[in-house]
Amino acid sequence: MLDIRQANQRGRAEHGWLSSRHTFSFAHYHDPKQNGFSDLLVINDDRVAPAQGFGKHPHRDMEIFSYVLEGALEHKDTMGTGSVIVPGDVQLMSAGTGVAHSEYNHSKSEPVHFLQIWIAPVEKGTAPRYQQRHFSADEKRGVLRLVMSPEGTDGSLALQQDARVYAGLFDGAETARLELASDRYAYIHVARGSVTVNGVELGEGDGARVRGEEALSFAQGRDAEVLVFDLRNIETSALWA
């Protein structure tokens, strides 16, 4: 079953320099029916004005990753990491015992559009760490490319949870199929464009909780960019408490 979360149902935050859409409860937006799904707790769709951003702030015990769709995002943290994240990059910060970071639009003239996503870790109190890797458009074209996994399989980033994250680009006749184990959930997020999943059309910003499906089939994409999360079959992680 696909339980659709339409883009226009998401929470909204407008701060002038920041326009954000919250798939799940976050900050001042709270919906008791939208407190994450399994270990996936946050999907924020953020657009940040030129030369603006999030000042230095702390995190702990969370797997936090950024996925840039347009523009460039500048990251600095208390582990000594400094980087600029562009489309195709996947950045993962494991906050562990505690880390502070800042995120700014690297450009003084163009906006940046990115997703920030939080996944609960399997264990609290681990050492903080940072990973980043570029996945080219060719690697994601017409397939679901593994970008995160517990073991860092096939060049993916190593995620501290029993979850796997796939990214794919679909247009025209391109199709892909992802098999799901019988004891797994999944979540689909359409970052841009539109695509049909198991015959259901999803547009930009739409998402879907997936329960009881043996596979996910992607087809009829129109400039679509998709993230798929293969998750434990729990409703909301106890680590969120």
Residues 7-62 have pLDDT tens digits of 999 999 999 999 999 999 999 999 999 999 999 999 999 999 999 999 999 999 99
Q: List the CATH code of the domain at 2-240.
A: 2.60.120.10
Tell me if 59 is assigned to a ligand binding site: yes
Q: Tokens at residue 115, please?
A: 């997703």
Tell me if 57 is assigned to a ligand binding site: yes
Containing H/E element for 137? Answer: helix 137-140
Q: What is the pTM of this model?
A: 0.96
Tell me if 101 is assigned to a ligand binding site: yes
Q: What are the φ and ψ backbone dihedral angles of 8, each rounded to 5 degrees?
A: -80, 0
61-120: pLDDT as tens digits: 999 999 999 999 999 999 999 999 999 999 999 999 999 999 999 999 999 999 999 999
What is the domain partition of the chain in residue ranges? 2-240
